[in-house]
Structure 1
């Protein structure tokens, strides 16, 4: 039944109008709930349709009208009797009341001054009352959709309350979280044109949602100098997400300030005007320095150290730095060969100050190496807070953190601590300085509860996980906890909004976003479809995988084409002849392979191999000579075996001498024991 058509006079309780008659009577009441008894006459469902779960109803208490939310219903006996009266029991939750003020004007308040009495009459909710409940009574409102109960009534939010205190959008995959966030951002920018928005976009979806208002920063356009990273963030890059080695971190803590003092490239850097003030520079100070200077300091320290026990960690640190510099995936950090103090240009580009008509920055994180995403998120959130802090609130910033459970997980042992610290600082102190946090997640149960508790407005979309529902239930006001029971069954694009930006918790449907500004993935990438072949350009994909410049792309062979079927089966090619045994020479071997020109056309037949005398059985020694030999052995040192002169292979080998020594040893071991014992 369409009740939104009843306006003003039609809202009167005329007995002749269907749907306006009494719905039931209160038969039980507590501090937060009440039970209503109603009768469906002769099995008719016309009255029962007005009791659907999630609808608001009105209870007459004198001049006041108590507003209640239907949360459950059942009949007094099992089953439904057609053609007979059915007694229904409806459980409702008390939300607030509509009462007249001193001037006689009716207004809505969340508190209840007069509770329903037993037998109080229950009516359907008037359209005018429904509008009064959700009316913000302020000009700083924006329409984001319509009410689920009455699609003719708009759903409003208070934009200053939304932005001055943080908000969250939660819901499972595919329910429309990204579209809802894009809609909220468009409404916020319309209400506050001075707002600057930074979106941490891990799926590259928001670039299409702001085609005229956003600057897209990806791996091709990102320029985030390494010297802007703090020590913990820089070590996260060097160690690629693995635990850092304390000795190497201590070395960086000592050497980075030295490298910053050695930098003389900017005369405008106030911290470098007095090189004697060593305490003014630390490893966390955002001052430029050269990696070459840092490596030179490491080499100098290696040369000064005495003893090998202290050198390996410095050598390992040097290798890590060189590896990071040469990694093409980290080009956004080490792209510039000439170091300049570009912190002002970097802040202006990322945070859109002044903005040039594009106040939104979509920071696409999908192309950034996974082991440094936490460091990039940390530096962006930290800089956002510091900009708002040191500008005394002159710059209003909104940081949208998509997939927030990745950066601030509920388990304190997971995640990157500087990232958690930076986001937590915005959540706890950001509203004092004009920086707001927007949290978007599909798993609120895996999000740090402290972050969610700081969000004053929550848009809860469909959630199927019981743990996630419990998290939202703990954050919603106690007077509307039954509203969460709808979370597992609401439709796509539908949400339950509660908090500072709405008057009372409301079940609403987000308005549809124009197709032109609909978020979609990979909108910032150039198409890789080959129109001629109607296929995928694999060379372009490989180029992106390697993160290298097209000019430096190695020449790749053409893609293999299917070979035509052979006319007849061919015999397999004969196996190649084994290579000729190389000659051995006493001259030093060269490192190159000989060509055919180095060999004569014809070689003489090799001589038959002569037996090695060392392998022949020893002849018996005469008695006289044996005694002389024993007498001489007492005066002479023990004989030693001298190997043959070093033989090298003509092709640069060196294994043949070892083979000869091995054969000599095996020959001695195989000689009869009697030949080695004096007879």
Structure 2
């Protein structure tokens, strides 16, 4: 083989590491080859070595200089340069089969094999995937003229993690990836962003290139159905409901489950019956309180019984599941009024003992009929609804005021202590309903096709179906935003920056589960793939190593997405400044890792365990990477590569504050009181 372009010889082969003795001196680390002048021995550059029928490709990870032993007979005057030997170390990352680059190894080079610098043509072949859709992530840190591309299908199909310390450029890298996708015509693309810091709305604002190229909807940061960021509580499944209400497993959880099953069983057609049965119960309670009235009880009792009769008479005329019970109640009320012979014209008269006996016997029979009526409506039965997790509307206030107390009364027949066990649960539920921070979940009004509307919103489809009179809660907000954006892929941004921290996990786990279940239930499978972007992912998917950590439900949801989402067309793009706090399961499932500067040893160690063996030596560079520079490893790139991330316009709102410049502006002092007032007004209003 010709020695043209040879820069050295292999002196050691260990697993995936090669050591090479260079044929250059300190006078210049350059070598003339058939493609021109090559820089020799630069960290992160590439070399090729023949290995049987193929050529092995390796990335330089270290360069060394050592003193040579002076050989006898040489002149007395030998320079320091002439006594030095130069070596490099390289990690094997793939091979050339002819002119085509392939990842992985099929053989090793022998000792003394000639080593060449990869030519510009070879480098381009490495960085530009052939015959597959690709996106440009940036340029090579070693050869600035060489663009670096990632295989788009492998990037999305195997999940991606962008990690790095704060200020290293993670958010801009995420936008760079999205820009790379937007460079392609993808009108059926679907991107959902969980934005915990409120950064991404600026990047997709109307008037920006991304805003014009996408159908972007921003939900938040203000919470509430009319503002756009809302999540109906009835979307929650069994586990999520128990977690939100913090129901203990012993007694509270079963009682709450059956109460919610009762509440879900009330449909629009049966709601009038339920409401009127509640009214009958309230009227009976009022009459029983009149027993102790020492001044006037007979006339008010007659009025209450008359009202009860009117309600029963109205419902008994209508065909329904509990019509028989209403008819029986009407008969009982008429008979009791006759037997009690209540006086209607006498003021300030008291009930007699005989009248109280008649009314009490009436109420015993009425309560039995009411129980039968609830059973006919599917409420109060001993069995839980056949599909408890079905996202069917129920009123949370009604659950608190009626269904939960009613279920407690039923269960007390078996255990008289149930009421005391459930008292704290009832108190928590009442407090939750009284806290305005949670209105965006607990006070969402019933509307037509709530789940379908929400899924259409997530997928960039008009949730109102184009109907001007739609009762979808955020119809006006949606209409205003869609007027300002163009065509192209859909981008739905959940600005979660104002969501209370103690309910954030409930929100993210519920949203993640809805998206995943939609993907799983879609037929045919992966008909409409979706990219889910999680900013500050360690907040959504914390590690489970600490048993006391929060986020177990959210972690479970996204671990399942990481393990199973690919086959259903659901991809994760994670961004985190603390990868060591992320679930190891999720990090291990990320086929591509883009690592910016990381200084914490635990973060570096996690990546070493999660990346390919040949890439681990490169990770020693992480503490010293400059801003906008990153190491890219994984299935979407042919080789591990040091990249300068592409420049982006209209970046996310994540730039560092200019302290000194701001502190030096004396004029800002005049605006400080108004600024404080504005924050306080919004703060108190949101609370």
Residue 430 of structure 2 corresponds to residue 293 of structure 1: no
Kindly state the Cα deviation for residue 150 of structure 1 after the two structures are TM-superposed. 0.9
Kindly state the Cα deviation for residue 367 of structure 1 after the two structures are TM-superposed. 0.4
Residue 680 of structure 2 corresponds to residue 542 of structure 1: yes
Counterparts of 1:266 and 1:493 in 2: how far apart (Å)?
61
Kindly state the Cα deviation for residue 427 of structure 1 after the two structures are TM-superposed. 1.1
Kindly state the Cα deviation for residue 457 of structure 1 after the two structures are TM-superposed. 1.6
Counterparts of 1:155 and 1:388 in 2: how far apart (Å)?
32
Which stretch has the larger CA shift, 49-58 or 247-256?
Answer: 49-58
Counterparts of 1:539 and 1:442 in 2: how far apart (Å)?
33
Kindly state the Cα deviation for residue 302 of structure 1 after the two structures are TM-superposed. 5.1
Aligned match for 1:162, one of 143, 149, 155? 155
Which stretch has the larger CA shift, 530-539 or 487-496?
Answer: 530-539
Deviations 1:329-350 (A, max 9, x none): 1120133456665222222224
Q: Assess if the C-alpha contact under 8 Å between 2:13 and 2:111 holds in 1.
A: yes
Tell me which residue corresponds to 1:352.
Answer: 460
Residue 384 of structure 2 corresponds to residue 384 of structure 1: no
Distance 1:89 1:321, change over 3 A: same
Q: Assess if the C-alpha contact under 8 Å between 1:237 and 1:371 holds in 2.
A: no
RMSD: 3.4
Correspondence 1:266-415 to 2 at 5 A: 280-294=385-399, 295-301=401-407, 305=412, 309-336=417-444, 342-353=450-461, 357=487, 359-392=490-523, 393-412=526-545, 413=547, 414-415=549-550
TM-score w.r.t. the length of structure 1 is: 0.68
Q: Assess if the C-alpha contact under 8 Å between 1:328 and 1:546 holds in 2.
A: no
3-state SS of paired residue (1:37): strand
3-state SS of paired residue (2:565): helix
Distance 1:64 1:322, change over 3 A: closer
Aligned match for 1:215, one of 214, 217, 235? 217
Distance 1:292 1:129, change over 3 A: closer
3-state SS of paired residue (1:207): helix
For structure 2, the 5+ residue unaligned runs are 32-38, 70-77, 206-210, 272-319, 322-375, 464-481, 658-666
Aligned match for 1:256, one of 254, 260, 277? 260
Residue 237 of structure 2 corresponds to residue 230 of structure 1: yes
Aligned match for 1:96, one of 94, 97, 109? 94
Tell me which residue corresponds to 1:435.
Answer: 570
Correspondence 1:258-657 to 2 at 5 A: 258-264=262-268, 280-294=385-399, 295-301=401-407, 305=412, 309-336=417-444, 342-353=450-461, 357=487, 359-392=490-523, 393-412=526-545, 413=547, 414-514=549-649, 516-520=650-654, 533-535=670-672, 536-548=674-686
3-state SS of paired residue (1:537): helix
Q: Assess if the C-alpha contact under 8 Å between 1:226 and 1:334 holds in 2.
A: yes
Deviations 1:249-281 (A, max 9, x none): 2221111111111232699xxxx9995597655
Kindly state the Cα deviation for residue 202 of structure 1 after the two structures are TM-superposed. 1.0
Distance 1:486 1:338, change over 3 A: closer
TM-score w.r.t. the length of structure 2 is: 0.68
3-state SS of paired residue (1:463): coil
Which structure has the larger Rg over C-alpha atoms?
Answer: 1
Q: Assess if the C-alpha contact under 8 Å between 2:43 and 2:60 holds in 1.
A: yes
Q: Assess if the C-alpha contact under 8 Å between 2:203 and 2:653 holds in 1.
A: yes
Kindly state the Cα deviation for residue 65 of structure 1 after the two structures are TM-superposed. 3.9
Distance 1:46 1:237, change over 3 A: same
For structure 1, the 5+ residue unaligned runs are 1-11, 101-105, 524-529, 550-679
3-state SS of paired residue (2:139): strand
Counterparts of 2:58 and 2:407 in 1: how far apart (Å)?
75
3-state SS of paired residue (1:44): coil
Which stretch has the larger CA shift, 382-391 or 459-468?
Answer: 459-468
Kindly state the Cα deviation for residue 203 of structure 1 after the two structures are TM-superposed. 0.7
Residue 112 of structure 2 corresponds to residue 127 of structure 1: no
Tell me which residue corresponds to 2:27.
Answer: 44
Flag the structure with higher helix content.
2
3-state SS of paired residue (2:251): helix
Counterparts of 1:494 and 1:366 in 2: how far apart (Å)?
28
Deviations 1:385-421 (A, max 9, x none): 1111222233322111222222322225222332122
Counterparts of 2:59 and 2:656 in 1: how far apart (Å)?
43
Deviations 1:426-449 (A, max 9, x none): 111111111111222222222221
Choose between structure 1 and 2 for higher RCO, CA contacts under 8 A separated by at least 6 residues. 2
Distance 1:410 1:152, change over 3 A: same
Q: Assess if the C-alpha contact under 8 Å between 1:189 and 1:195 holds in 2.
A: no
Which stretch has the larger CA shift, 536-545 or 337-346?
Answer: 337-346
3-state SS of paired residue (2:89): strand
Kindly state the Cα deviation for residue 522 of structure 1 after the two structures are TM-superposed. 13
Kindly state the Cα deviation for residue 82 of structure 1 after the two structures are TM-superposed. 4.7
Counterparts of 1:512 and 1:321 in 2: how far apart (Å)?
50
Counterparts of 1:512 and 1:122 in 2: how far apart (Å)?
34
Distance 1:328 1:13, change over 3 A: farther
3-state SS of paired residue (2:254): helix
Q: Assess if the C-alpha contact under 8 Å between 1:26 and 1:120 holds in 2.
A: yes
Kindly state the Cα deviation for residue 204 of structure 1 after the two structures are TM-superposed. 0.7
Distance 1:44 1:474, change over 3 A: same
Distance 1:129 1:155, change over 3 A: same
Which stretch has the larger CA shift, 219-228 or 355-364?
Answer: 355-364
Tell me which residue corresponds to 1:23.
Answer: 7
Q: Assess if the C-alpha contact under 8 Å between 2:628 and 2:644 holds in 1.
A: yes
Distance 1:81 1:469, change over 3 A: farther
Q: Assess if the C-alpha contact under 8 Å between 2:255 and 2:407 holds in 1.
A: no
